[in-house]
Structure 1
Amino acid sequence: MSDKMMYLKPNVVFEPLVDNWYAWSHLISPATAAMNIVARHLTIIDSYLLAPAIHAEAVRTPKMRGGPFMDLKGERVDDVKKLKAQTLEKQQKLIAFYEAIKELENLIQAEAKGFGLEALYEKVPALLKGYVELYYDRNNNPGFRFFESLLYKSEFYNKNSQSIALWLTNNDHRPFCLSTPRLNECNVLPLNISFDHAGIDELAKMKRTPQSLPYIKSLLGLTQSQEPLFETFFTEEKPPVYDKYKGNKIRMRYFGHACILAETKNITVLVDPLISYYGYFSDVEHFSDADLPDIIDYVLITHNHQDHILFETLLPLRHKIKNIIVPATSSGKLEDPDLKLMFNNIGFHQVRSIHEMEEIQFGDVTITGLPFTGEHSDLNILTKSCYLVQIGDFKLIYMADSRIVEPALYKHVHDQIGDVDVVFIGMECDGAPLSWLYGPLFIKKLQRDMDGSRRLAGSDCAKAVSLIEIFNPKEVYVYAMGQEPWVEFISSIKYTDESNPIIQSDKLIKICTEKKILAERLFGEKELLYDMDIVNRQQSSVE
């Protein structure tokens, strides 16, 4: 086998890990990583060790799905103890960083009373000196911001905590990844490489371009004991040739959740990549990474949530991506890490940030950043952007999980961009409470009723209708609902016909139909074809 040119099997998973936990964006930025390691990981570990049977029962209860419970069937207690010991040893610096943040938070709340802050710098914990700036808002409430770029150059950014687990999948069923760590399994190969490692790109290329096993083994630094399992991930079978779109229309392909590929014969734009794997039977027909082009001109990221920035998809695609556009921020706030910095530090170098109403043009395509309101539990988070993509005269807007809390905002936007042809809007309108995602970043525990009132919620029917009445689209698609089985492990969502988001989106589709607007809630896969001049339009659905 070693002398042959081999392909990587299409269903090999590139699972990104930080200290054996599924890697998402808040585990990259050093400040948010510190908070999550202590207040999420170690808290869940301690809870499991105290009562593993309760965790086993909780994960079997639908209402508890997505909660802070390890899905280990009450077993592997010794392995979890070992994980705790390893975390306490390897992450001493970040654990100390967490304690310093707590100390600083308590300090400014106790002593920053509206008077000058300069003298208070002397009391900033030694670990944070030079990394933070103290400030007041206009109501004299104190706060602090990080010089985040310096943190990435400090001892607190530990790339040695990053790794990739390789394994073959044959179904969509996985434990909820934010609550269950990846423990050792005989069929899972751990690669102790950081996310910016060139070997990830070379390995991913082998899905379409064959390479010799000695080359890739050497590049990844495999040990002799790892080689037998590693070799099972390859095949001599040549994959199907990608059928590049060569027509004169705009082809739109829905890959599930919030992932849309727009392509013409000249350009490709991919939004919020979350791609299912190919090569196993599924009850749900779906496109896979085999259906992506060899070059992706632009990837658009709408916001910094784990179901919209999926490293498991993005890292294997990195070698194909020419540009990534992310929402702009440099706030330095703990809850609002800089996405451009994050992507740069994990090996994505063609990253551009975009401001609200800023335009980026290439060829006959214009990408405009649009305001994104709601869905962030009323936190002052700037790293969020909806997008207008205009190809020729054809306009579509991706609204992601935006909650239309103030329609007047989008009337002002409409004054600038006019009517659009297609609207994609997320309607997961119940949403998890604030603490579900952002809880580890809070020093003081939130009151239950306060927590429950601040949701990670998208638009309901009334809010979606207000958007449609402003932009007058010809077509409306509900997406980003987290319904697909391959999204469950990251979203924890499982709907029934009685679920409010389903009821609300059904109402929207009915209203649109009455208004002679083509409307559908997307699920699985969908293909649409549009004329760029919007004179004649074809639509085809891949059933």
Structure 2
Amino acid sequence: MKNAPEEIQDHDEVYVVQNLAVETLVEGWYAWSHLISPATAALNIKNRHLKIIDSYIKNPRIHAAAVKTPKMLGGPFIDYDGKRVDEIQELRDNTIKNCAVHLELCDAIAELNEMLENEATGYSLEPLYEKVPECLRGMVELIYDLNNNPSFRFFEPLLYASKFYDESIQSINLFCVEDDDSRSFVLSTPRLPNPEVLNFKVPLHSKAIDELFKAERKPRAYGELKALFNITEEQEPIFKTFFKKEAPPVYKPYQGDGVLTRYFGHASILTETKNTSVLVDPVISYGYESDISRYTYSDLPEEIDYVLITHNHQDHILFETLLRIRHKIKKIIVPKSNGGGLQDPNIKLMLEKIGFDNIIEIGELETLHFQDCTITGIPFLGEHSDLDVRSKLCYMVNFVDNYKMLFVADSCNIESKLYNRIQEIYGDVDVLFAGMECEGAPLSWLYGPLLPNTIERSKDQTRRLSGSNFNECKSLIDIFNPKHVFIYAMGMEPWLKYISSIKYTDESLPIIESNRILEHCKTIGVDAERLFGEKTLEYKVGGKLEAVPSE
């Protein structure tokens, strides 16, 4: 049910409603990490956005039919029922004008790739620097790998300091989410104006966003919140629906001596001791009426000590969640990148540019020591279509009483010898969280705009964005000997469909394979569950991990 506007005056103390979303945009498209880093943004604008727009303008009916076909979920089809063609044309015209520097960068990258392909033949690359496109001179290093294959890397901080990082094309949408199904898939449908949505031309680092969402728990005068965004008389009826006078329930932090663990959906896990809170891959649902029980933003602590990011995909780094909780995050822990590779933009740099100043980078087998836990970066295999992507980590969190949790996320156990070596160093774990979305999209679905040449379909189909299948997950269980196994990161929850485009049936391979794991665990006497919706568990010092009934 839509929020009813209250009779609110400027002097009234108000709270943000639980279903208020902050949707981050770049030139009208839903912002994800590859739309922030300048090089990946340029390539996505030209090779994804404009291609989808041109296709829609040419034949909107094909798009209208495709988005109604379950097999086409996640495809490059705009979800406006074949209508609003004039607005899509206007978006195209604005993109050509407003993103001219991005298109220039895109063309320069293509020119650089072509030059290296034709002229880097194994001899010294020094003479080729003068042939680098002028706009990239001084921002790239030309390199060979050990097989004499030429390539280049960016000095990424210089890209951000150049004209190619343009905050003027950033904005946010504020609106209330009413259900699990109404939002279109983010990679294929631009966000056109909507009478129930307020758009504000502010950069993503704007402190106004933090001040707004602080009012989720601490009341603020409505007039002050209105002034943050210079609300007009025309905007005010919608803006008022974002607030209520009634105070939300007080958050009760965990006071036990053990570890409380809550599943928020997909790969989002919150663990708490009485001193420390750790939130992994936050993708949080909003609070509204639903027949599926779930934790929401109101179930997060007042402060979150550590947010862990496993890898740089839109269902694990979700700006919509991160910006909403930015004011309460003390530290974000992220994987180190490979240092300038186009396909692997630096996560720390990106988060700093959108307003985070509290980021810790961690590498493989590095350990951070905190008051009552340690966090260790564990190598992450696969799920990136065999590209050289280093900014990905699993995490082993060791709590009080030497109680170990291993968050594998979407790591695909394609080489079990790696994890044998890890186990020899760190030993067994108590709880294994393993991702089994084992029928992932092909390379081109996510990384296609970055490729200088179109990959052959037969090859593309073998290079998947996949988690572990039955055999790979079974091997992890055999290696780490966990007492409890939780299958997660499946994208099963319906409120994730707009970012994952996943809708399973009983015949879907991830369901079949994860069912086999559940049966296997039952056979060997290991507690196992495929998580969905919400789950609460408590580990008591010296005792067992027990499920806590939902309130």
- TM-score, normalisation: structure 2: 0.97
Provide the residue aligned with 2:256 in structure 1: 247
Let me know the Cα RMSD of the aligned residues: 1.0
Q: How does 1:75-224 map to 2 (within 5 A)?
A: 75-173=83-181, 174-224=183-233
* Cα distance between partner residues in 1 of 2:531 and 2:224: 42
Q: Assess, with a 3 A threshold, how the Cα gap between structure 1 residues 537 and 45 changes in structure 2: closer, same or farther.
A: closer
Q: Would the aligned equivalents of 1:403 and 1:459 in 2 still touch at CA under 8 Å? A: yes
Q: Assess, with a 3 A threshold, how the Cα gap between structure 1 residues 228 and 539 changes in structure 2: closer, same or farther.
A: closer
* Cα distance between partner residues in 2 of 1:328 and 1:120: 30
* Cα distance between partner residues in 2 of 1:536 and 1:323: 30
Q: How does 1:130-529 map to 2 (within 5 A)?
A: 130-173=138-181, 174-278=183-287, 280-392=288-400, 393-529=402-538
In structure 2, give the amino acid aligned to 1:256: G
In structure 2, give the amino acid aligned to 1:166: L
* Cα distance between partner residues in 2 of 1:490 and 1:537: 32
In structure 2, give the amino acid aligned to 1:525: E
* Cα distance between partner residues in 1 of 2:302 and 2:541: 23
Q: What do the CA deviations read for 1:226-247 (whole angstroms, capped 9, x no partner)?
A: 2332122111111111122212
Give the match's secondary structure for 2:536.
Answer: strand
Instruction: Report sequence identity in percent.
Output: 53
Q: Which moved more, 1:524-533 or 1:70-79?
A: 524-533
Q: Would the aligned equivalents of 1:427 and 1:505 in 2 still touch at CA under 8 Å? A: yes
Provide the residue aligned with 2:42 in structure 1: 34
Long gaps (5+) in structure 1: none
Provide the residue aligned with 2:5 in structure 1: none
Q: Would the aligned equivalents of 2:338 and 2:389 in 1 still touch at CA under 8 Å? A: no
Q: Does 1:58 align with 2:104?
A: no
* Cα distance between partner residues in 2 of 1:504 and 1:341: 37
1:330 Cα deviation after fit? 4.3
Aligned length: 541
Give the match's secondary structure for 1:149.
Answer: helix
1:249 Cα deviation after fit? 2.1
In structure 1, give the amino acid aligned to 2:425: Q
Q: Which moved more, 1:210-219 or 1:383-392?
A: 210-219
Q: Would the aligned equivalents of 2:38 and 2:165 in 1 still touch at CA under 8 Å? A: yes
In structure 2, give the amino acid aligned to 1:482: G
1:212 Cα deviation after fit? 1.2
Give the match's secondary structure for 2:420.
Answer: helix
Q: Would the aligned equivalents of 2:338 and 2:391 in 1 still touch at CA under 8 Å? A: no
- TM-score, normalisation: structure 1: 0.98
* Cα distance between partner residues in 2 of 1:386 and 1:376: 14
In structure 2, give the amino acid aligned to 1:370: I
Q: Would the aligned equivalents of 1:389 and 1:396 in 2 still touch at CA under 8 Å? A: yes
In structure 1, give the amino acid aligned to 2:170: Q
Long gaps (5+) in structure 2: 1-8
Give the match's secondary structure for 1:487.
Answer: helix
Q: What do the CA deviations read for 1:358-386 (whole angstroms, capped 9, x no partner)?
A: 00011020000000001000001001000
Give the match's secondary structure for 2:209.
Answer: helix
* Cα distance between partner residues in 2 of 1:463 and 1:112: 40
Q: Assess, with a 3 A threshold, how the Cα gap between structure 1 residues 537 and 69 changes in structure 2: closer, same or farther.
A: closer
Q: Would the aligned equivalents of 1:391 and 1:532 in 2 still touch at CA under 8 Å? A: no
Give the match's secondary structure for 1:120.
Answer: helix
Q: What do the CA deviations read for 1:455-479 (whole angstroms, capped 9, x no partner)?
A: 0010001000111111000000000
* Cα distance between partner residues in 2 of 1:256 and 1:289: 12
